[in-house]
């Protein structure tokens, strides 16, 4: 139960607080704030900016009034609804990458599709072959598959050269075997992996014919697209809530 205390007006701080201080500083500036804003961004970008802001502010799905009173499962349901609505708006308004960034700034709340848009898709664009883009990039952009970026390991953080997960090429079957041989090689802190992602960009040490070729990215399907259960040989866990 949350308690509160009502403070009499004569005991409240008389000095300006928060937004009032910011307003005062802007009003005392030696230049016109609106003119500077126009100079920096231009009228077209500002109109686009405010149009997107208006859409986000007036959509009830994005109302964050009660999120601090939600349990973890309810909060996850909320973020999924938020992501679904955002995808609908992207398609309805034909937002480009920059316009989507505006929308995400206004939402100001991480979601389970963040790594999909911010890491998975850009990696496919930057590193994928035409064949790979046709197979993975198109369904990723249509949200038919959801991806994440699995680089960080429990024992290695961002030390890419020290990653222990391996990808060994098998010439007889023309396949790569992805293997995390130790507890410390478990992919850890991967946004979207615990509950949402169906695919992952896995950073692993490439091995072929007994030689090491260093870390390379591999596209790995991790969940069944019908049941959403982990595929055989893959163990997936949810490490719990993060601070912040």
Per-residue model confidence as pLDDT tens digits over 196-230: 999 999 999 999 999 999 999 999 999 999 999 99
- 158 found inside a domain: yes
CA distance 211 to 209: 6
At residue 33, the pLDDT reads 84
157 falls within a domain: yes
Query: Is 86 a member of any domain?
Result: yes
Look at residue 9 and tell me if it is in a domain: no
Same domain for 124 and 105: no
Q: What is the pLDDT of residues 91-104, one digit of tens each?
A: 999 999 999 999 99
The answer to whether residue 27 is domain-embedded is no
How far CA 171 is from CA of 101, 199, 208, 240, in Å, comes to 43, 24, 9, 39
CB burial string 204-215: b at 16+ within 10 A, e below: bbbbeeeeeeeb
| DSSP SS3 for 177 | strand
Residue 74, domain CATH: 1.10.540.10
Question: What's the number of domains the chain is made of?
Answer: 2
Q: Any idea what DSSP says for residue 173?
A: T
pTM: 0.83
Q: What is the CATH number of the domain that holds 199?
A: 2.40.110.10
Per-residue pLDDT band at 147 (split at 50, 70, 90) = very high
Alpha-carbon torsion (202, 208, 210, 212), positive or negative: negative
Give me the domain span that covers residue 127.
118-221
Q: Is 122 part of a structural domain of the chain?
A: yes
Q: Are residues 135 and 83 in the same domain?
A: no
With a cut of 70, say whether residue 150 has pLDDT above it.
yes
**Residue in the block written with tokens 């405010």:** 50
Q: What is the pLDDT of residues 9-25, one digit of tens each?
A: 555 555 667 788 888 88
Regarding whether 198 and 171 lie in a shared domain, the answer is yes
| Alpha-carbon gap, residue 107 to 23, rounded angstroms | 23
């Amino acid at each position: 139960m949350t308690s509160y205390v009502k403070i009499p007006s004569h005991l409240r701080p008389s000095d300006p607080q928060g937004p009032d201080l910011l307003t005062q500083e802007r009003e005392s500036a030696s230049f016109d704030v609106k003119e500077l804003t126009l100079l920096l961004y231009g009228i077209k970008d500002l109109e686009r900016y405010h149009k997107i802001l208006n859409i986000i502010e007036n959509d009830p799905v994005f109302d964050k009034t009660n999120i601090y009173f939600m349990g973890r499962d309810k909060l996850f349901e909320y973020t999924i609804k938020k992501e679904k609505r955002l995808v609908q708006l992207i398609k309805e308004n034909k937002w480009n990458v920059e316009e989507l960034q505006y929308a995400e700034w206004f939402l100001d709340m991480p979601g389970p599709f963040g790594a999909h848009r911010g890491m998975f898709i850009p990696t496919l664009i930057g590193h994928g072959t035409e064949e790979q883009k046709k197979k993975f990039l198109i369904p990723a952009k249509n949200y038919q598959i959801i991806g994440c970026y699995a680089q960080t390991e429990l024992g290695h953080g961002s030390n890419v050269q020290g990653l222990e997960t391996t990808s060994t090429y098998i010439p007889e079957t023309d396949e790569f075997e992805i293997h995390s041989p130790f507890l410390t090689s478990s992919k850890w802190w991967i946004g979207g992996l615990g509950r949402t992602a169906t695919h992952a960009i896995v950073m692993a040490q490439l091995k072929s014919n007994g030689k090491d070729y260093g870390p390379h990215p591999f596209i790995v399907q991790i969940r069944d697209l019908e049941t959403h259960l982990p595929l055989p040989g893959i163990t997936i866990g949810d490490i719990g809530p993060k601070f912040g």
